[in-house]
Amino acid sequence: MKLVVISGRSGSGKSTALQALEDIGFYCIDNLPALLLPDLVQQMSSEPSHPDRIAVSIDARNLLSNLSKFPQILLNLRQERWAEYEVIFLDSSEATLLKRYSSTRRKHPLSDKHKNLQQSIQSESELLEPIASLADIRIDTTRLPLYDLRDTVKLRVAKRKEQTLSVQFESFGFKHGVPLDVDFVYDVRALPNPHWVPELRKFTGQEQPVQDFLNNSAEVNEMISDITEFLSRWLPRFAENNRSYITIGIGCTGGQHRSVYISERLASHFSQHMDNVHVRHRELS
């Protein structure tokens, strides 16, 4: 049996993620009290016709005492080996969450006469830290459209082969901020920039003119070689330590040319040696 726990700050897309898993056959439960998780697993395991894939949402609507006990609850469940467990934590920048709540005019679950919306969002981050610290995968939804979030969850969770490491290369532009969900960040702004070549500016790193320009640069190939060497050495070590997901950010200035091209090159290389390699271009989405 596989059990996925989805958590994150309100407005970050938990409902969308849960619905994405429901669409592909997961038995889904929203807002489960954390203390009931062991009972749920035990009951499901004892049923002859129990669903083999379950997803539950646990968020700040839980009692504080329940959330603080989540790490021990999960540790106990993993030791008993009744199921395969994964924790997904979704988050967005504070400014994005404020904007989403302002546009929908929804009430934040922690808002009351003592706390305004911004204070509630900040407080929620502290309450959910026990879950966030155990996340197998963190997804930054700040600049992630709902359809892309659904695809990301389906691709990285539902289609991941058991006991294999899932690697995602994500290109981005530093001027738009570093993604919240990356484990490694490589800065490629020192490389020649096609943006300053007028005839290349309109293309992206996925298109042949920019690819030819960057492929002919010794500096570009040297950096790709260095990154490849590092990851080839250390990704197997993460897999040996039961790490399920690694997200590698490749950043240039605008996220259109260099980071896109290098992410594509790296994904192509590692796809030849690993089963679960994906690439996402944040600024091109």
The total of other beta-carbon atoms located within 10 Å of residue 71's CB is 13
Q: Looking at the domain 2-159, which fold is it?
A: Rossmann fold (3.40.50)
Q: Could you give the angle at the alpha carbon of 57 between the alpha carbons of 53 and 60, nearest 5°?
A: 165
What distance in Å separates the CA atoms of residue 76 and residue 69, rounded to the nearest whole number?
A: 11
Which helix (H) or strand (E) segment holds residue 104: the answer is helix 94-104
For residue 2, pLDDT over 90 is answered with: no
Q: How far apart are the first and last CA of the chain?
A: 34
Q: Where are the domains of the chain?
A: 2-159, 167-284
What distance in Å separates the CA atoms of residue 28 and residue 239, rounded to the nearest whole number?
A: 28
- pLDDT tens string 113-145: 778 888 888 888 888 998 998 888 889 999 888
- pLDDT tens string 10-65: 999 999 999 989 988 899 999 899 899 989 888 888 777 778 889 999 988 887 77
Is the entire prediction scored with pTM above 0.85? Answer: no
Which helix (H) or strand (E) segment holds residue 57: the answer is strand 53-57
